[in-house]
Every structure is written in structure tokens, then in C-alpha cells.
Amino acid sequence: MKKQSILSAFALFTAGATISLLALAFTPRPTKTAVLAMPMCHGTSDTAVFASFAKDQNFLNAHPSPLPVALTGKGAMIDFPVEGGVIGHGYLVKTRKKTDKYLLLFQEWWGLNDFVKNEADLWSKELGINVLAIDLYDGKVAVTAEEAGKLMQANDPARSSALIIAAAKHLGDKADFRTMGWCFGGGWSLQAALLLKGKIKGCVMYYGMPEKDLAKLGGLASDVLFIHATQDEWITGQVVTEFETNMKSARKNVQVYHYEANHAFANPSSPRYNEASAKECRKVVKAYLLGK
């Protein structure tokens, strides 16, 4: 059984507003603020902190090469223009029923590999919405921890931010978004939510590095669902507790689910895959996203 910890911040509506503690069930998301313009840059110190883990041999050892995965999805790679840069790429899955709802997926440190593409197809089918997995490595994919570490360290946060903004623009003004990512992509799921502001409806982080800047967190338009692996030596319980505290200070809502598992436990192509925990947390994530 998972340990479930939910920390909710309070919203000030009137001088006589009351403070309501979130129960274990999901609650309606915070009041949304329409934002027509998206900022071109955000601080990315926390994604850089995660990238620095690539210098830790223990972190490399904790990421055995992923098992081969057969691409089973029906999505397709797309290109989109990026202001001031080279063309961006992503794997797009469209639903049969027309909708302006999108889930933006963010890769693990391996890159946009077939596991992520398959996840895009699966989530599109389960949620009934469009899914775009944005390629933050511009076509590069790693198969060993050493290769992945080099790609993650070489990742330019400004380029990744530009890709996110460009992808959202490409999908149209009527589109609204939910974000989700694992590991390296877990941190970028939150950064994307910060970048896209009022267009964001929900944010899922699988064992990613949280943002620490209270001013930036204060601009978050959605709540956050955080999946924590209790045996993770890098995204530790202390990191998660600090994130909960910061979100409370920023008057934002975060729901944290703890699983007795290791980093990368939700990836079936990882030798560290924990099937029981992965299936259990997938139900939680699905229920959360269906409510968005």
C-alpha cells in the first residue's frame, strides 16, 4: 500500500475567507486566470540541478540500459517552427473525436524513445484527448546511462523552454494543456506548467526535480500531482517535503503519493520497473487527469 500525503494551500477569496484542508480525494482545481501571452523564459536552476546528477556514478549505475521496446502506437512525428531556433519535433497522437484538450509528455533522460511514444498512444486512448511528446533532445536518443548523462547535461534550458512555447503555439490558440513527465521530464513537466500559465489545467511529476523559487511557483495556474519513489536517492523525501512547504507558501495545491519503489519504477522498459506500484499510481494519475 502506498502512503498518501496531501498538502493543500489555501486560497484567499474575501476578507472573511476560510481555510479548507484537502481530503484524500481529488478536489476541484484552483480558480484559473486567463493568460493570453506566454513568457519567453523562466529560471531553470532546478532542471540544472537534476542534470548535475549525471556526474554521480551512483546515479548512472541506478539507470541500467532500457529493455528493447516495440513501437506499437499510431501517432506520428511532427515538426513545428521555433522562434529564433531550428525546427522543433514531437510525437503527436490525435483522438478520433475532435478536442482541443492536450497532454504534453516529457521524456526521461533517455530522450524521445519508443517507450515514450507508446505512452503517448496509451494515454491518448485512456484519457480521450490529444497527446504530444515534445522532443527536448532534438532527435538524439541514448541507450546507455553514459550517453543519457551527456545528453542531459548538454540540454539547453532556454532551447527546451522555446520548444515548449513553440509547440503550444503550433497546437492552436484554443488548445489547453496538461503536462506529465518522468525523471528529467518530471522537472520539465512543472517548468512547462509555469511557462504556459493559464493554459495549464493540471501537472503530473514522476520523481522529477521541483521548482524552488516561490515567486515562480506563485504564477502556477494549476495544482500538481507528484509521484514519489521512497527509495529514490536523489529526489528524496526531504526534496519532496521542501516542495510541499514551498507550494503551501506560494498558496498552491500539491498532492503527493508515495510508493515503496525506486527511481524509474513506473517505466516497464526499465530493469527497476515495479509493476504493482506502477499500476497503482497509474490509476491515481488517470483519475487526476480525467478530472482536468
The H-assigned helical ranges of the chain are 45-51, 57-61, 114-127, 145-154, 157-170, 184-196, 214-217, 237-249, 275-290
**Which residue type is seen at 204?**
V
- Mean local confidence (pLDDT), 224-236: 97
CATH annotation of 42-67+75-290: 3.40.50.1820
Three-state secondary-structure class, residue 5? strand
Q: Which residue in 282, 290, 234, 226 sits closest to 258, CA to CA?
A: 226
pLDDT class of 74 with cuts at 50, 70, 90: confident
Residue 276 pLDDT grade (very low, low, confident, very high; cuts 50, 70, 90): very high
User: In whole angstroms, how far apart are CA 241 and each of 6, 174, 227, 238, 265?
Assistant: 11, 36, 13, 5, 20
Residue 200 confidence (pLDDT): 98
The Cα 218–Cα 208 span in angstroms is 19
- How much of the chain exceeds pLDDT 70, in percent? 85
Residue 11, CA distances (Å) to 16, 27, 198, 225, 250 in order: 12, 13, 17, 18, 10
In this prediction, what percent of the chain has a pLDDT beyond 90?
80
**CA 160 centroid distance within chain:** 13
3-class SS of residue 102: strand
- pLDDT at res. 32: 32
Confidence of residue 30 (pLDDT cuts 50, 70, 90): very low
Residue 18 has pLDDT above 50, yes or no: no
In this prediction, residue 84 has a pLDDT band, given cuts at 50, 70 and 90, of: confident
* Burial class for 210, CB neighbours closer than 10 Å (0-12, 13-18, 19+): buried
C-alpha to C-alpha distance for 29 and 129, rounded to whole angstroms: 19
Which residue did the predictor score with more confidence, 281 or 6?
Answer: 281
Number of helices (H), then strands (E), belonging to the chain: the values are: 9, 9
Give the mean model confidence (pLDDT) for residues 31-59: 63
At 227 the three-state DSSP class reads: strand
Comparing 10-24, 45-59, 171-185, the range with the smallest average pLDDT is: 10-24
- pLDDT of 218: 97
pLDDT score of 168 more than 50 = yes
* pLDDT confidence of residue 19: 35
| Predicted pLDDT of residue 16 | 39
Please name which of 210, 178, 276 lies closest in space to residue 7, comparing C-alpha atoms. Answer: 210
CA angle, 148 as apex, 143 and 152 as ends, to 5°? 155
Q: 75, 130 in Cβ contact below 8 A?
A: no
Q: 145, exposed or middle or buried, with CB in 10 Å at 0-12, 13-18, 19+?
A: buried
Give, rounded to a whole angstrom, the gap between the first and last alpha carbons of the chain.
26
Q: Is the pLDDT of residue 25 over 80?
A: no
Residue 51: pLDDT band with limits 50, 70, 90: very high
Q: How many residues does this entry show for the chain?
A: 292
Rounded to the nearest integer, the mean pLDDT of the chain is 87
